[in-house]
Amino acid sequence: MGRINIELPDDIHRQMKASCALRGIILEEFINQAVTESLQKESRTQGRQP
């Protein structure tokens, strides 16, 4: 598994943490879900299924 470090604006970080708390998930899981959904959407718009 790869690792990355990213810098986010404070307000985005706060929103992500709040969303995680509501969903009962950790930030890592939130990011994994968001990236996966984005890539799947991109694949569909390009006519490919993941």
- Mean pLDDT (the chain) is 92
Q: Is the pLDDT of residue 26 over 80?
A: yes
Q: Structure tokens of 11? A: 């307000």
Phi, psi of 6, deg, nearest 5: -130, 155
Cα gap 1→38, rounded to integer Å: 19
Q: Structure tokens of 1? A: 């598994």
Q: Residue 13: what pLDDT?
A: 97
Q: Are 30 and 19 in contact (CB under 8 A)?
A: yes
Q: Structure tokens of 34? A: 């968001």
The one-letter amino acid code at 42 reads: E
Q: Residue 46: what pLDDT?
A: 83
For 35-50, write each residue's pLDDT tens digit.
Answer: 999 999 998 888 765 5
